[in-house]
Each structure stands twice: as C-alpha cells, then as structure tokens.
Structure 1
C-alpha cells in the first residue's frame, strides 16, 4: 500500500505504518495543488492535517485512492460527500487530541480572565503595573458549554474543579450523560441568557455554522466572556467584534478562525482587539496529541489493509465504540451471507431486505446492513463497492434496501437473514454465529448447517435414493474432493437441497454432468473470497 503524507505528522505516531513491510510511506509537504492532483492517483491512502484541501477537484484525480485519514478531529477541509461517491473512506482521529483541546480551552480562558497576556507584555516592557490587570475568578461563575462531547465534557469537569456552575447545551446527548458530568442540560437560549462565560465545542457543519450571531449577543449578560477553541465560524466573528467594541462582551478568547490564516479586515480587527486573547489554532498542538492522532490514523490504515472494521470512519455507519468488539463477528457473518446469496439470486435485483432477529435486534444494525449490502453488490456490479458507497450504488441501480428488526427469535439467540427480490423470484439465506463462527442455518425454507468456504456447490432436486452417490461419483471422477456436505429437505421424496464444500472448483462440464444425473432443479457453483 502506498501512503502519501502532505502535512506535518508526528514521526513517532507513524510507527505502526513504518513497521509494516506492506506499506510504502512518502512524505511530500507543501505540494502545489497542480502537482498534488498529478500524483494523488498513484496512492492508496492519504494522511493530512488541516493544511491540505481534499476537495472534489482533488478527488477527481484520486485513481487508486481508497482512504483519506485526517490526523485530527475536524474534517472541514475534506469533501466527505465527494469522497463517498467515489467509495473513498474518510477517517479522523476524534479522541487523540481531546485532552489537548480541553486544556487549551482552559489555558486561553484563564489567560483572559487573569490578563496574563497583557500583563506579561507590560512587565517585559519594563513597566510595573497591577491595577489595570485586575481579573476575574471562575469560582461562582456560570459557564455555558455548547457541545458536551469528548472535549466539552472535559472542559465541564475542569470548570467544576474551579467551583463554577456549569450549564450545557447539546441536543444529541441524554440527561443522564449531563448528570454524569455534573452539569445541567438546558437550551441554547438558556445558555445565552444565563451564562457568564460561553464556550463552544461542536463540529463545524450546516447546523453549527453561525450558531452564535448578533441576536444571541444582544440577549447575553453584559460583560459576558466568549471562548472558541473548536472551529472558526461557529461564532460569527463580526458579531463578537461588535460585542467587544460595544462593551457587551468584556473579553473573548479564540484559537480558531473562519479563515486560516486570517486575512479579512474583520478578522484583523478582531485579532488586534485589546480584549481578545488569541492563538493560531493550537488546540491540538501538544507533542502528546500530535503523536496520539498520528497513531490513531495509522492504526486505521492498518485496519483497512487487514480487512478489519474501521472504528473512526466518518462516512460509514458505525457502532458505539463499546459495542465494536461484540459486533465485529456479526459483520463477518452478514458479509459472508451477503456474498453467498448474491451468487444464487437471479439478475436485476429490485429489493434487498436485511432482517435481524433475537438479541442482535436490540442494537443499531445499520452498520451490519451496509456491510452486507457492500458484500452483496460487489457480486452484482463491476464497480468496487464498500461500506462507504454501498447505499449510493444501490440507489443508482434502483435497488430498494430495507432493514427489519425483531427481538423475538424461535431457534437462535441471534439470526441474520438476507433476502434478494428480483423479477424472476427471490432468494433468501439466514445465518448465525456458533462460538464466533459464521454458520448458514437456512436457505429458503430448507434447514441447513454449514460454514461458507471458498468453493461450494448448491444443488436442489427431487429426493430419490442414490442421487447423493451419483454426485459424489461424478465429482470424484473429475478429481474434485468433497470436504463437507449438508442436506435439507421438506419431506421424504420431496425437494431436497444439498450444499457441498469442495476442495477445488468444478469445471462447467462436470457441473453439467451432475445436473443431468440428478435432474437438478437448480445448481450453482459458489466461490467465496478467502
């Protein structure tokens, strides 16, 4: 695998890639856009920070590119929809710089409250002044945190350690999680109305861009303090500048900007304002954080190379991290049965239904559905399909995808069924796990019991004495050894289905002999990826 690095990345954090003989690592910093476009198609993976724009224009030249790894939390420099259309996985490192960002938030907040930056400059210039630098304590203040995720939660913990009262606004967390952090969950309007200090910790997206605007500042307390150590543009910079100039805000501390490096007149005025503490996007700039995020994305690339689930892909449905180890075997199961049934179904599918019964149905099964769909569609189209673009490919092909969950299951603790519907009929297959091993336990209404193997035969015929022997004889004459056999039937002398695992593929002539010998209703060779 060829991996291109276009921004400064911690060498220590890249060690997992450096240690893997399958990986060729090229470091090319500060590449002109035209040159990057020219060479990107020769690489399988790209590792960036915030200095490289991975936009639609770049992705048009992506060629072999399969994964973009952003060594940090924010992905606003990556066009995720454009990457998804091309089946390119986008991963980030959402946890590696969490502590660094939380500590930097507290650093610039405390520097502002205690006038550290201006007092430092005054003393270094030879002055000895104290009264102009009288500050504010956090104790007893009401801190409003917008976004109680990994960083916001840590900021809440630290503010409480300073004996501040903490309010939080986050529509995506439960009241219990807020209680666990010792904070009160309120609306954005309440944060604006009651907080002495407001700090934002959300991603930058359509929902959060311009979240704090002029009308919000008008409703804030006089003398409010505002902190942005998350992403530039969440707080409208013209609005905070107006609030500082009017005295509505007594001060502000920003680490991030809507334009980096800042160049507009508004940003120049904001940065130069005497009641602003500013830093050039240093939230993740600790030696520890840089190593951590590099390690995280390096491991994700190794996971991709090994075919293991990727935990921090932003354009793939994913499980709660606490569930990942439990759900990994089911991803293997649904992938195998999706690949298996795709080879049995007639062409031109119009609908695929994924059904989850039993304990598995208690969880969000969307990642399983996408995993199984990708495996299935890879047998239905020449286009490479993965978990990133599976639903887009299905939509393009006119295939409806449905997911059904039912916590009841008659025979198994958990059962996964995939059914493909086509104009010529349908095919279904159901599987479960036995001690972590995928087993197919039902095909149509036939009970079965086998593990999918690289080479298999599926045959249905009217059950008569001696037919199994004929199958074995014909395969034996063709030097094809039978490894395992499972037989399902509805009734004596009724339709039977036999599934054989064979050590090597059987040629077409041999399959024709078998079909003729048993008067097969259906015969299909199945080849599973090893």
Structure 2
C-alpha cells in the first residue's frame, strides 16, 4: 500500500506534484492546520504530515497519529512541533534549514540600505505632500565597516554581498576559523573589537544562553557613536528597552528590526521612533524561498517514505532500521561526549578528533560523528541537529578527524572525543555498558567512572586534602543536593577531577564560590 501524506498548510502545487510523482498518496488540505479538532480526527490515517507554521503538532495530537512516521516542516523553525513527543513515538521530524538563507541575507542588506538613507521615513514624508530634501541626510555604505555577529550560513552570504558593496567586513563568531574568514574575505575579531569599530552591525547568530541579549545596555555603550544596527535573526538577541534608550540618545543612529522578543509584535519599545525601520518578520518571505522550502520538504519526505533515506532530521541520525538497535546507544554516547567538550570549550577551535575503538568502529561511524559534532556545537548554536552539524562545522572551517582502530584497552568499545583549541587540547572518553547507558571513563587522560545526568558539576583542582569537604559544604550552603560523586587524579598531589551529579539546576553564584576554593582551576555547571 502506498504511503499517505497529509498537507495541512499551504504548500505550492509543485510540491504536491513531487509527492505524487514519487508514488506517495497525497491529501492536500491547506486550511486544516487551523482546525485542530478536525486535524486530530483524521491524523491517524496518514504516514506523513507536511506543515508550515499554522499547524501545531502537540503531544495530544501525536497520541492520535498512530500511523505517522515523519513530520516535514517547510522552513527552519519547528517551535510548532513537540519534538520530544515525536521522538518518543519514533516519528522523524524534518525541516529545511538552508532554504531561506539567501532571502534572509538579502532582507538584512535591504534593511541596511533603508536605515542608511532613511527611505521609509522619506517615502512617507514625500507621499504626504512634503518636500523635505534637507531633512533626510543619509550616509554612504561604501568603505564603511560592517560588523557581522554570527558568520554561519546566512552571515556568510551577507559578508559576500557586503564585499560586493565595497564595505570592510569584520565578524565575531567563536566557530569561525581564520582560514574560513580569509575565504569569506572578512576579518575575524572579538566582540568588543567589533562593537568599537563597526559603522553598521548586523545580527545573524542563533539564540542561545550565550547570545541572548547580546545587544545589551553594556554592549551598546561599547559601540561606535552613531552606529546603525540591523536584526533579522531573533528578537531576544536585543535588549529592546536598552536599544530604545540608545536610539533616543544618538549612541545608535538607526535601527532596522525584522524580529521582536514577542511576535506578533503589536506593541514594542522600538516602535514609534523616527530612526527605526520595522518589518513583520519578512526574512523568509519571498516567492522563491517559500517555493524552495516546499519543494525540499516534499523531496525529503518522499525519500524517507519510499526509500528509508533520512535527511535534515532534527531528532535522529541518518541510519537504517537494521542498524538502529546497535547504533542508538552509541549515538547517545557520542552526542553526550561532544556536549561535554562543547560546554567546556570557550576559545578558538582548531580541530576535533573522534577515535572509535573496538566493536563500535564496525558501526556506521559517520552517524556517530554527526551526533558528536551536534552535541559539541549545540551549546553555542542551539538549532544544530545531527544532519546539519557536519555542514555547520565545515562552514566554520573546523577540521574533523575520524579514526577507527581495534580495541587497545579493557573495553569492548570506546569513543574518545578530543578538541584542540588555540589554548589547549581536551579529550573525554566513554563507552556503553550492558545496561545501554553511556558512561564517562576518562577526562584529559584521568580515569573517572560516571554516568551522564541532566545536571552535573565539573571541577578540576589540585589534589590537596580538604577540597572535598569545602566543595560539598558550598553545595550544601547553596541548597544543592549531591546525587553521585566521581573522582579521579593523575598522581597523588597532582591534578584531580570531580564530576558530580546534582539534583536540579546549579545557581551561578555557587559555581563562582567553587571557583574561589584553594587549588580549583576550573568549575563549570553542565547540562545533558
């Protein structure tokens, strides 16, 4: 029997035809996504669900989706899909992460021109019958410094266009290597340098704990007076009240915003200012972009339903049904080892090396490497998935070495994730025991045996008496309960490691106090 796909949002006729040409039975009901009760009634009859943003795929809806194998989102954002619930039911969730890149980059450039020459205000004035030729004194783009915060897929396209406009482009992106920067024709800089030098700043970074509010009052005060700022990425990157104050004071000469902290944005601190241009999240709104993502999602879903091929999946690596039972526990291990290293990496990355020893080396290591790199990049690039991670790493010029070899130690299978930065090399190794749970076996060559847990504290310190008591006392004072405590050292009195599983989140103030303990070199709260 041919697989059946329900299209519950507006998709182009060409996308519908792709499904049909591939032998997929297609039910096109573009307004159904707005009627959640009707959708719930019929969802159990379909193998695939193709959506845009109107359809909300909730855990409650998925309970009715007894046949569903794949959800395809035409676009990048999947806020309207409960991915954990879909994963729990074995449903693949796909998106089209690169279909809107050119459109969004072009919108940022258009917004830059709009604020440079005050085009919207000049248009409104002229059409109102005024002729205020002297009021609208703009600035040239040529030879100005454009600062790009986030030089990934979209940011690199903006850089290319800006070079064509004869701008001088500088970029802040922790994952951008000097080699990739030279290839793009940009100068890689630190954030404070960018803020001080840029005439225009455009944001193209994902929203993560590190980037939320990156345009803060503190950082706005560091900018060159008269800077112009463009945000076509995520509204929460900007402290909107601080931005308004900077726009009113003249510290920021102009702002262009396509995204806002709350959307739909019917009111916002940035509204009503004469030196601000706002658009209603139009970054992906071109005929070409909407067509591209629709065609992509139809191709991807058809490939999966007819041939079992998985691409651009957010919740599963590209593996076959036969490989899944053996591979899945090691996917979890690889992702957690990568996440461990990623959460501790704060300087420029030179290279990542992943070593597979023993039985695991016989499995599909590319899927494992994709999972490890996704785990590694996700602390800074939150929307990275196991499919996009290798592409994202390549864009940033990160060298990835994959090594397979026979078992050399006590374990049937061992994965070692090593990252080399401009300051140090850090390696973490682990395995999967018979219970199927991933474990850490060594960190920086120091043996330690610990399960991964949702909330952990990692400490490196000098092996001196009294540390454990002081450390545990600080956690007790902070009302943090210790679940397990794993220790390791390289030699008596040498370097030691503590890896502690705790209940609940760790207050930043507790980490700060641990950092001040005698002999502590590093203290970090980790989440898995």
TM-score range, shorter chain: 0.5 to 0.7
Paired residue secondary structure (1:106): helix
1:199-214 matches, within 5 Å, as 199-214=202-217
Residue equivalent to 1:316: 316
Residue equivalent to 2:219: 216
Residue equivalent to 1:148: 151
Residue equivalent to 2:186: 183
1:14 positional shift: 3.4
Output one character per residue of 1:219-259: Cα deviation in whole Å (capped at 9) or x when no partner. 22221211111222222323322222232211111112232
Residue equivalent to 2:245: 242
2:9 counterpart of 1:7 = yes
1:270 positional shift: 1.7
CA distance in 2, matches of 1:207, 1:10: 38
CA distance in 2, matches of 1:45, 1:108: 38
When structure 1 is superposed on structure 2, of 304-313 and 174-183 the one drifting more is: 304-313
Residue equivalent to 1:17: 19
**Aligned CA distance change for structure 1 residues 15 and 228 (closer, same or farther; 3 Å):** farther
1:180 positional shift: 0.9
- Aligned with 2:360 (options 352, 355, 359): 355
**Aligned CA distance change for structure 1 residues 58 and 124 (closer, same or farther; 3 Å):** same
Residue equivalent to 2:338: none
- Confirm or deny: 8 A CA contact 2:70 2:92 kept in the other structure: yes
1:58 positional shift: 3.9
When structure 1 is superposed on structure 2, of 152-161 and 25-34 the one drifting more is: 25-34
Paired residue secondary structure (1:311): coil
**Aligned CA distance change for structure 1 residues 82 and 215 (closer, same or farther; 3 Å):** farther
**Aligned CA distance change for structure 1 residues 206 and 121 (closer, same or farther; 3 Å):** same
1:253-402 matches, within 5 Å, as 253-263=256-266, 265=267, 267=268, 269-317=269-317, 335=323, 338=326, 354-356=359-361, 365-366=368-369
- Confirm or deny: 8 A CA contact 1:200 1:227 kept in the other structure: yes
Structure label with greater radius of gyration: 1
CA distance in 2, matches of 1:210, 1:164: 26
The number of residue pairs the alignment matches comes to 358
- Confirm or deny: 8 A CA contact 2:361 2:405 kept in the other structure: no
- Confirm or deny: 8 A CA contact 2:308 2:320 kept in the other structure: no
- Aligned with 1:169 (options 158, 168, 172): 172
**Aligned CA distance change for structure 1 residues 169 and 262 (closer, same or farther; 3 Å):** same
2:57 counterpart of 1:54 = yes
- Confirm or deny: 8 A CA contact 1:13 1:293 kept in the other structure: no
CA distance in 2, matches of 1:364, 1:335: 11
**Aligned CA distance change for structure 1 residues 18 and 213 (closer, same or farther; 3 Å):** farther
CA distance in 2, matches of 1:140, 1:306: 53
**Aligned CA distance change for structure 1 residues 40 and 206 (closer, same or farther; 3 Å):** farther
Residue equivalent to 2:445: none
- Confirm or deny: 8 A CA contact 1:46 1:65 kept in the other structure: yes
1:57 positional shift: 4.4
Output one character per residue of 1:458-483: Cα deviation in whole Å (capped at 9) or x when no partner. xxxxxxxxxxxxxxxxxxxxxxxxxx
When structure 1 is superposed on structure 2, of 108-117 and 208-217 the one drifting more is: 208-217
**Aligned CA distance change for structure 1 residues 274 and 66 (closer, same or farther; 3 Å):** farther
Output one character per residue of 1:466-505: Cα deviation in whole Å (capped at 9) or x when no partner. xxxxxxxxxxxxxxxxxxxxxxxxxxxxxxxxxxxxxxxx
1:155 positional shift: 0.2
**TM-score of the pair, normalised by structure 2:** 0.60
Output one character per residue of 1:301-355: Cα deviation in whole Å (capped at 9) or x when no partner. 011112343221122246xxxxxxxxxxxx569729959xxxxxxxxxxxx9742
- Confirm or deny: 8 A CA contact 1:6 1:52 kept in the other structure: yes
- Confirm or deny: 8 A CA contact 1:142 1:197 kept in the other structure: yes
Gaps of 5+ in 2: 328-356, 373-385, 388-401, 408-412, 415-430, 436-528
CA distance in 1, matches of 2:72, 2:177: 30
Output one character per residue of 1:175-224: Cα deviation in whole Å (capped at 9) or x when no partner. 22122101122223332232221111123344443332222212222212
